Amino acid sequence: MIVVLRADATETQISHIVEKAEKLGLKAHISRGVEKTIIGFIGPEDVLRVTPLEVFPGVEQVIPVLAPYRLVSREFKKEPSIVKITEKIQIGGKKIFMMAGPCSIESLEGLRSIAKEVQKAGAAILRGGAFKPRTSPYDFQGLGEEGLKYLKAVGQELGMATITEVMDTRDVELVCRYVDILQLGARNMQNFSLLREIGKSQKPVMLKRGISATIKEWLMSAEYIVANGNFNVLLCERGIRTFETATRNTLDINAISVAKQLAHLPVIVDPSHGTGHWGLVGNAAKAAVAAGCDGLMIEVHDNPEEALSDGPQSLLPAKFESLMAELKKVAQAIDREI
């Protein structure tokens, strides 16, 4: 870490900072310039969370050298990580994986028919919510375990991997029994108990970016999971809340490259929640592929008008199929595959 001192820092202040840091196990290298003095400290930076040097008199700025999200950072691991879901589904390599299905699981029959359509179009992973984080307590809350049973049955029947959201620490074990990937939703990105609990399992998890979370906060949440022992983490950009009201959220295309530069984890993009409107999903999905995502999650429903949640942003199966053909071309142009 580098400590930049104020131009008027006194010798007493400088020695005080050095003494304090040395007591914490850091080694100081002072460099005196014409205008400013800079101290480079070598040693465990974590100690600064307890003793914040920036409040010491004479200090102008403290610049950490290591990212606080250490285990997920590129400094920790240079090569991009591949998260293995099944033998055939390994996310983070050349191939871009498609996750598709309804927002909520509504019935066994309904799920099966949508699953067949998305699989035919090229999706390898079936999505469907059984525990739904709804803004209103009066809206459909999901089928719970019954929904998980349908998801597992359809996944097995068709040979598709499955993903669903888990909202409560008490349900982690239950949900793990039914699906291949856990989804940690935007609203729970900073539910630290849930992050820890999921970290204790080895189940692959897709961590959605919080509605108003910075990329750093998102990576810190991923760090919670990894620090608890589960390295099978996928990041998911799903749009953030901005001043813009024309779309449900603002899909942060920059976040794909930034997250991939800072962290070694694969990045998935959800253009459905990122836009909130079916007519905008296709272009956002193409942009995400062009920007280097490793997978897409898209909501598809065979009767969006009657969907119990997120109908307005759900694609009809035929539209999803034609989008897949376009996405393949974009992927090819950047030497990836779908």
Closest separation in Å from C-beta 59 to ligand PEP: 40
Helix 215-227 to helix 192-200 angle (10° resolution) is 40
Q: Tell which one of 203, 260, 273, 286 touches ligand PEP (CB under 6 A).
A: 273
Residue 59, classed as helix, strand or coil, is strand
Nearer to Mn ion, 203 or 208 (CB): 208
Q: Is 103 in the site for ligand PEP (CB under 6 A)?
A: yes
Q: Which residue lies nearer to Mn ion by CB, 9 or 126?
A: 126
Tell me the torsion sign for CA atoms 333, 335, 337, 338: negative
Residue 319 binding target from Mn ion, ligand PEP, none, CB below 5 to 8 Å by type: none
Residue 277 CB neighbour total at 10 angstroms: 13
Q: Which is nearer to ligand PEP, 3 or 307 (CB)?
A: 307
**Strand partners for 337:** 95
- Which two structure tokens, joined as six digits, stand for 66? 């290591």
Please, which residue, 248 or 286, has the CB nearer to ligand PEP?
Answer: 248
x-marked contacts with ligand PEP along 149-188 as a string, rule CB under 6 A: ------------------------------------xxx-
Residue 133 contact partner, candidates Mn ion, ligand PEP, none, CB within 5 to 8 A by sort of partner:
ligand PEP
User: Does the footprint of Mn ion cover residue 103 (CB under 5 A)?
Assistant: yes
Partnered with residue 267 across adjacent β-strands are 235
Distances from the Cα of 260 to the Cαs of 272, 307, 323, in angstroms?
A: 21, 34, 25
Q: Spell out where the chain has E strands.
A: 2-5, 27-32, 37-42, 59-63, 83-84, 90-91, 97-101, 125-127, 161-165, 181-184, 205-208, 233-237, 267-269, 295-299
- Is 270 near Mn ion (CB under 5 A)? no
Judged by CB under 6 A, the chain residues 233 through 252 that form the site for ligand PEP are 238
Residues from 56 through 95 that contact ligand PEP (CB under 6 A): none
- 142 counts as binding ligand PEP under rule CB under 6 A: no
Shortest distance, position 201 Cβ to ligand PEP, whole Å: 19
3 state DSSP class of 30: strand
CA distance 50 to 27: 17
Partner touching 276 among ligand PEP, Mn ion, none, CB below 5 to 8 Å by kind: none
Cβ-based nearer residue to Mn ion, 89 or 281:
281
- Residue 91 touches which member of Mn ion, ligand PEP, none, C-beta under 5-8 Å by kind: none
Pick from ligand PEP, Mn ion, none: which does 260 bind, CB < 5 to 8 A by kind? Answer: none
- Say which residues have a Cβ less than 8 Å from residue 89's Cβ, sequence separation at least 6: 97, 124, 125, 161
Nearer to Mn ion, 106 or 310 (CB): 310
DSSP-derived secondary structure for 91-145:
ETSSBPEEEEE-SB---HHHHHHHHHHHHHHT--EEE-BSS---SSTTS----TH
Residues near ligand PEP (CB under 6 A) are 103, 129, 133, 185-187, 208, 238, 270, 273
Residues near Mn ion (CB under 5 A) are 103, 310
